[in-house]
Chains A and B, each alone.
Chain A
Amino acid sequence: MSAVLDNPVNAPATTADAMLAEVRRIADGALAELAEDIDRGVYPKSVLMRLGEVGAYRAHLALGGSDPDYGAAIQAIIEVSRVCGATGFMMWCHDVCGLYMEASGNPALTGRALEDHAAARTLGATGMSNPMKTFAGIETLLLRARPVDGGFVVNGTLPWVSNLGPDHYFGAVASVETPVENAVGGEAAPREIMFIVRCGAASVELRECPSFSAMEGTNTWGVRLTDHFIGAVDLVADPVRPFIGRIRAAFILLQCGMGLGVAQGAIDSMWTVERQLGHVNEHLDDRPDDLQAELDALTARTMALARTPFGTDNAFLIDVLDARAHASELALRAAQSALLHQGARGYLMSSPVQRRVRESHFVAIVTPAIKHLRKEIARLSEPVMPA
């Protein structure tokens, strides 16, 4: 403890600005060196933990009576994604897991457990792609829970969950099977539970995933649960739908950081060749000054939305979904244009420019993908009428 006090570098940064300065230092230093390896499969555990030490994962939490600062949390993800989209994505995974734990109100998931999580002494993740798509009417739930004495037994497989390790944990949702004796007269309303899965349990099997085109160092696994017991200590929400309604905007707002950061990294790389190649690059469609202005406006819009991360009214939610979609579209355009600006040098396998093109693809397809966002905005925009 005294060692920590003696060494201010290891203490959580006291203000958002100080925290962000530390995050920037890590991103431009250790992370920049590792980024290519992370793309090819190296999991940056030390960097992720270091980000926790400087307070990057606690900004959005109300720990120790502090005011949640979603803007600072998003900015931290931007700073990291600007250098490495994969690590920015894993920050989001860890951040939303913290959100689930805090919002659960479960004493076993808050207090000391949440302190450890916020400092990245323990690492968490999220298996919510399938439930989010289910609640938007696109998929059906892959995990099924059976009520038993003192909790539930869960079975099923989630195809790919990122930021996992033998001692990590993640949030997930299962549909609750209605016991036959209770299913009288027609279909019961669907019921789900949300819970934390601990990867170290014997009933949890991490299965190898096929190779992806980018971001191979995100420790992404298929997770098979076989008669996995969930007791009260790991329960996040029951019922789930109102809980998701409460945290949905915050969940998506944090994700905006990935797209904004990847776009910024792409714009940065355009400027590096401007002196030499500007006279030819001026003939391209998306120029860095234009993209930067669009990015700045979108960042300002995102930060304004982040001041009320738990808003639930339709207009606000549509705004949040649209900001997230815009971040994806901008990341795609900026990454693509950066490659055109850099030409052959950006096409080298060692170049972050081509890596960022693949990262931007991930930003655009990870749940909620651009198509999901637009479908959901359309659904929320339809006027309600009597049945």
Chain B
Amino acid sequence: MSAVVVALVWRQFICKACGLIYDEAEGDADSGLAPGTRFDDIPDDWACPLCGVTKADFEPHDAQPMPRRAVSAAVRTNARRGDAGIVIVGAGRAGWQMVQALRELDAHVAITIVSACAADLYDKPTLSVACARELASAQLVREGAAQAALRLRVRLLAHTHAVSVDARSRQLRTTRGTLRYRQLVLAHGAAPRPVDVLPADLCWRINDLVAYQRLRGALGVQRRHVVIVGAGLVGSELANDLALEGHGVTLLDVQPRPLAAQLPALASQRLVEAWRGLPLRFVGGVQVAGVMRFEGMVCVTTTCGQSFEADQVIAATGLLPEGALARRAGLAVDEGGIKVDTATLRRATRISMRLAIAPASKAVRSASSNRSRARRRRSPARSSATAPFASRRKPCHCV
């Protein structure tokens, strides 16, 4: 029974170059292939009747069409032409706070948020203290992006990169289409500072949830050895956190003591003492010369000739503001970010765009105070490294 049924199933093959479908049931009369000619029985010199490529350039075709997707109320898969309202680039703390602040001011204004990642809401400071707070990777998300978008009635373009700004015609160009904005808010924050001797394909940079989750995935459930370069706030917290979980950690810094820029010498000393009970070794006063892969491990060498082998290497060497988008929007940008008048937070030279700095600074203030609250909630007993988050503050900029 089944053998008979199988024999009667005609298959289809699609041309990878032009999309022509060869249907075994129909054959190809122009090439002398009678209806019912199996694809396997077609001579090798047969050519696609439409574009001429060979039989080898066909692949099996699934004639079943994809189920049609209904449009979601909030989460969009691409940009829609026309007015996108206020467009916010970046769905980190600052971006979502901006949405919240705008919604409080105006229940109806159209808001679109453009995010390179999934745009889920989470507290970035928790990434370096998740183990201490016994948070599994999945628990770090406070609210899913789709739910937040519905709640705040914003249109969300997730996994979408903002590419450039045409300020004169008020267009934001993205990898899912071009948006026309009324006001544009740049809240995309900063990116890890590239360091030549710490190549990105060998060294983790923990600046967002995705990188953190991938690092956790790479560490797996076994105890590993991790080298962390940079004993500033993030490096020290991560070292502390991973050691609490049982991983062996070597923390390197050019300074002779951890948190040298944040703490007085005595406090650094107490920190090192507090770490004695953990599988955590601080090596100060060393400069990384290079990182290389070696027999399944990653090897960090220093200019003074030491070498440290690890399963994973993390570079915690600071952030740089993302200036490319602002620069393409015609704003003056330097290493510190967008140039503004320090008294008014307005940019110095006017260009033909509307400014909306005030709500942004409100969002920043609000975001900063939330961070402070988040800090205060931490358990001092399980968190060894404490310092204000000033270094991570990223104002959002409105254009």
Q: Which residues of A contact B (CB under 8 A)?
A: 130, 139-140, 142, 156-160, 207, 209-210, 222, 224, 290, 293-294, 297-298, 315, 318-319, 322, 325-326, 329, 374-375, 377-378, 381, 383-387
Residue contact A386 to B203, C-beta cutoff 8 Å: yes
How many contacts A-B (CB < 8 Å)?
91
B164 touches A378 (CB 8 A): no
User: In the complex, A140→B53 CA distance in Å?
Assistant: 13
- Is chain B's interface secondary structure helix, strand, loop, or mixed overall? mixed
A318 CA / B204 CA spacing, docked (Å): 23
The 5 tightest CB contacts between A and B, nearest first, are A222-B52, A159-B51, A384-B200, A378-B175, A381-B161
Contact A160–B53 (Cβ < 8 Å): no
Q: Does B155 contact A (CB under 8 A)?
A: no
Cβ-defined partner of A293 (8 Å) among B18, B164, B169, B204: B169
- Chain B residues contacting A156 (CB-CB under 8 Å) are 53-54, 57
Residues in B with CB closer than 8 Å to A290 are 169
Given A378-B159, A386-B298, output 11 extra A-B contacts at Cβ < 8 Å. A130-B17, A142-B57, A159-B17, A160-B51, A297-B169, A322-B164, A326-B166, A383-B192, A383-B200, A385-B201, A386-B218
Assess whether B51 is in contact with A322, with CB atoms less than 8 Å apart: no
For the complex, give the distance between the alpha carbons of A285 and B200 in Å.
45
The smallest C-beta distance from A385 to any residue of chain B, in angstroms, reads: 6
* The residue from B50, B192, B313 contacting A210, defined by CB atoms under 8 A apart: B50
Complex Cα distance A209/B47, Å?
A: 12
Known: A139-B16, A157-B47. A387 touches B52 (CB 8 A): no
B53 touches A157 (CB 8 A): yes
Q: Does B312 contact A (CB under 8 A)?
A: yes
17 contacts between A and B (CB under 8 A): A142-B57, A156-B57, A157-B47, A157-B52, A157-B53, A159-B51, A159-B53, A210-B50, A326-B166, A329-B178, A374-B175, A374-B177, A377-B163, A381-B163, A385-B201, A385-B205, A387-B201
Docked pose: A319 CA to B18 CA in angstroms = 30
A294 CB contact (under 8 Å) in B54, B166, B324:
B166
A224 & B47 in contact (Cβ 8 Å cutoff):
yes
Size of the B side of the interface (Cβ < 8 Å), in residues, is 40
Contact across chains for A322 and B173 when beta carbons are under 8 A apart? yes
A377 near B168 with CB under 8 A, answer: no
Q: Which of A157, A158, A322 contacts B163 (CB 8 A)?
A: A322
Contact: B51 with A210, CB < 8 Å?
yes
| B201–A377 touching, CB < 8 Å | no
| Chain A residues within 8 Å of B205, by CB | 383, 385
Give the docked Cα–Cα distance between A266 and B52 (Å): 35
Q: Are B201 and A384 touching (Cβ within 8 A)?
A: yes
B283 within 8 A of A: no
A293 surroundings in chain B (CB, below 8 A): 168-169
Q: How far is the CB of A285 from chain B (nearest CB, A)?
A: 9
Q: Is the CB of A209 within 8 A of B51?
A: yes
How far, in angstroms, from A157 to B178 measured CA to CA in the complex? 36
B161 and A378 contact, CB distance less than 8 A: yes
Within 8 A of A (CB), among B162-204: 163-164, 166, 168-169, 173, 175-178, 191-192, 200-204
Q: Min CB distance, A129 to chain B, in Å?
A: 10
Given A322-B173, A326-B173, A386-B201 contact (CB < 8 Å): yes
On whether A386 and B163 interact (CB within 8 A), knowing A156-B54, A157-B47, the answer reads: no
Query: Cβ of B136 < 8 Å from any Cβ of A?
Result: no
Of chain A, the residue at the smallest CB distance from B167 is: A297
The residues of A that contact B159 with a CB separation of less than 8 Å are 378
Of B53, B178, B200, B328, most buried by chain A (CB within 10 Å of CB) is B53
CB distance from A328 to the nearest CB of B (A): 11
- Tell me the nearest residue of chain B to A294, going by C-beta: B169
CA distance A120 to B189 in the complex (A): 51
| Bound-complex Cα distance A318 to B163 (A) | 8
B324 contacts across to A, CB distance below 8 A: 315
A386 contacts B312, C-beta separation under 8 Å = yes
Query: Judging by beta carbons under 8 Å apart, are A375 and B57 in contact?
Result: no
- In this complex, the member of B52, B168, B176 whose beta carbon has the largest number of chain A beta carbons within 10 angstroms is B52
Are the CB atoms of B218 and A381 closer together than 8 Å? Answer: no
B214 touches A385 (CB 8 A): yes
User: Nearest CB to that of B200 among chain A residues?
Assistant: A384
Question: With a CB–CB cut-off of 8 A, which chain B residues contact A159?
Answer: 17-18, 48, 51-53
The answer to whether A207 touches B52, judged by C-beta atoms less than 8 angstroms apart, is: yes
CA–CA, A299 to B332, complex, Å? 22
Bound Cα distance from A293 to B328, whole angstroms: 16
A308 vs chain B, min Cβ distance (A): 16
A384 to B313, CA, bound (A): 14
Q: A139-B16, A210-B50 are in contact. Are A297 and B201 (CB under 8 A)?
A: no
Partner of A157, one of B54, B166, B202, B204: B54
**Would you give the shortest CB distance from B25 to chain A, in whole angstroms?**
23
Closest to B159 in A: A378
Q: Is the CB of B16 within 8 A of A140?
A: yes
- Which residues of the other chain, A, contact B177 by a CB distance below 8 angstroms? 374
User: Across the two chains, which residue of chain A brings its CB closest to B202?
Assistant: A386
Query: Which residues on B sit within 8 Å (CB–CB) of A329?
Result: 178
Q: Which of B288-338 contact A (CB under 8 A)?
A: 298, 312-313, 324, 328
Contact between B312 and A374, CB atoms less than 8 A apart = no
Which residues from 31 to 63 on chain B have a C-beta closer than 8 Å to any C-beta of chain A? 47-48, 50-54, 57
